Amino acid sequence: MEDPHRPLYHFQPASNWMNDPNGLIQWDGTYHLFYQTNPNGPSHGTIHWGHASSDDLVYWTDLPLALSPTPGGPDQAGCYSGCAVDDDGVPTLVYTGVSGEDQRPCVATSADGLISWRKYPRNPVIPAPPEDLDLVGFRDHAVWKEDGVWRQLIGSGIRGLGGAVLLYRSKDLLSWEYEKPLLVGDKDETEPFWTGSMWECPDFLALGGKHVLILSAFHQGDTFHTFYLVGTYENSEFEPEGGAIVDPGGHFYAPQTMVDEQNRRIMWGWLREGRPEREQQEAGWSGVMSLPRLLSMRVDASLGVEPVPELKALRGEHHRSGGLRLTPGSSGLLENVRGDCLELVAVFEPTEAGEFGLKVRCSPDGEEQTLIVYDAKNGRLAVDPSRSSTNPNVHKDVRWAEVGLREGEGLRLQIFLDRSVVEVFANGRACVTDRIYPARRDSLGLDLFSRGGPVGLSSLHIWEMHGIWE
């Protein structure tokens, strides 16, 4: 029987485990998406680099594995996360080789259009972490060129203190000189958000006149959330001025970004499962890639986020409504549309009271339903999965994202529902992603709701989405 939870238009390998996006690069027009994968099963085992390519950011071709651990080599226990750069016409990967307790930067190049990769015979390119620091972790890489010199950030943490990113420089990507920690966090500080005791998957980018450092918070073997810091960067000094959690839904982690040939900054992240390992084993797969997201710098120095417009190519049959007034008790407003593979765009009139939104994956009797709820008083948005499934084992936490609408501004929700994935974009400035696992096959209904004052729905468009696989 067809797997009811397996997404149809989000990228994932044919089976087994996947996690972080890696090595994002556009090469001769083609987008390359590498990713962490375990080809031997649906759990985080021996990690390889998977590889997929696309001409349009929508349809992907899954290609042969790009990197596999070399027996006896510095990556014998795993090829962990890293990035891709164009080294004067040579596609080059910088990744973490894992061997026993050691995590070390390694380099590989391709001479056949990014399909097969030759590891540098003298890997690792940094033989050991800086001796004067007591580090927790030394992995994941952001590499860029600055004034003709390669710079690199490596994710780390200083024991007892907090996360850290270590700054290096190199002329040739092969021999690296350590400079200093670019930034060190505080594992005990929780305001405005907690940053963990080790920072995974750093990404560092210039955007709209600012610099953005994206980090994923890790603590004692567990992954938490991804956050960004916006600030200024000059003379190897980064001064953060503000920041936020990237996607507070609790399932978006270890993202990476790239600049494409249209000079757009695009981000993908790993959408983690929200069901027990046993169920992942039974399904034979675990992990999905987010949709590609377009980043921008907003005037208030926060990150703007929107789905890339190319995704419109997936829109199939169209349904529309609007001009509705939702009041408490309104229901049955979308009885003519059903589905688990949809895009919905809803525009609500400005209001400052109550909670309202949409319901997706509803069973006819309402036993199962997932809410996309906007809390107007507090200006925050959540996916509420508390009644998403009769399966008691899947996660049901509600996590809120600040949207912060201006006075008089309506709410525009763009919802991508793809079976177990719900990605909700709000007004170009927030995205909340959740994973849901309805147990009932008839949980395909939709509805609108309001709790509190009446709210106007100016327009609603719903598209049935095409899948991206044959």
CA dihedral of 205, 210, 214, 215, whole degrees rounded to 10: 120
Query: Closest-CB residue for ligand DQQ?
Result: 80
Q: Which of 254, 271, 346, 362 binds ligand DQQ (CB under 6 A)?
A: 254
* Residue whose pair of structure tokens reads 């061997």 in the numeric block: 99
User: Residue 138: phi, psi to the nearest 5?
Assistant: -155, 75
User: Mapped to the 3 state alphabet, what secondary structure does 186-227 carry?
Assistant: CCCCCCCCCCCCEEEEEEEEEECCEEEEEEEEEECCEEEEEE
Nearer to ligand DQQ, 217 or 421 (CB): 217
Q: Residues 38 to 57: which contact ligand DQQ by CB under 6 A? A: 47
Q: Which of 16, 17, 20, 228 binds ligand DQQ (CB under 6 A)?
A: 20
Minimum separation from the CB atom of position 128 to ligand DQQ (A) = 18
Minimum separation from the CB atom of position 166 to ligand DQQ (A) = 14
**CA distances, 102 to each of 96, 155, 313 (Å):** 10, 14, 44
Nearer to ligand DQQ, 26 or 96 (CB): 96
Tokens coding 395: 């996660």
Nearer to ligand DQQ, 217 or 376 (CB): 217
Detail the DSSP E strand segments found in 272-337.
285-286, 288-289, 293-297, 303-307, 315-326
Please check whether residue 389 is in contact with residue 276, taking contact to mean a CB–CB distance below 8 angstroms.
no
**Cα–Cα dist 41/271, whole Å:** 17
Tell me: does residue 81 bind ligand DQQ (CB under 6 A): yes
Q: Which of 80, 176, 425, 463 binds ligand DQQ (CB under 6 A)?
A: 80
Q: Residues 133 to 192: which contact ligand DQQ by CB under 6 A? A: 139-140
Q: Residues 266 to 325: which contact ligand DQQ by CB under 6 A? A: none
**Cα–Cα dist 205/341, whole Å:** 33
Please check whether residue 356 is in contact with residue 455, taking contact to mean a CB–CB distance below 8 angstroms.
yes
Nearer to ligand DQQ, 36 or 433 (CB): 36
- How many residues lie near ligand DQQ (CB under 6 A)? 14
Nearer to ligand DQQ, 70 or 296 (CB): 70
Tell me: does residue 96 bind ligand DQQ (CB under 6 A): yes
Minimum separation from the CB atom of position 152 to ligand DQQ (A) = 15
Which class for 324: exposed (0-12), middle (13-18), buried (19 or more C-beta within 10 A)? middle
Nearer to ligand DQQ, 54 or 96 (CB): 96
Tell me: does residue 450 bind ligand DQQ (CB under 6 A): no
Tell me: does residue 36 bind ligand DQQ (CB under 6 A): yes
Q: How far is CA 230 from the centre of its chain?
A: 18
Residues in the chain: 470
Residue 249 region, left (φ>0) first, then alpha (ψ -120 to 50), else beta? Answer: alpha
Minimum separation from the CB atom of position 80 to ligand DQQ (A) = 3
Q: Is 300 a catalytic residue?
A: no
**Residues with catalytic roles:** 20
Binding site for ligand DQQ (CB under 6 A): 19-20, 36, 47, 80-81, 96, 139-140, 200-201, 223, 253-254
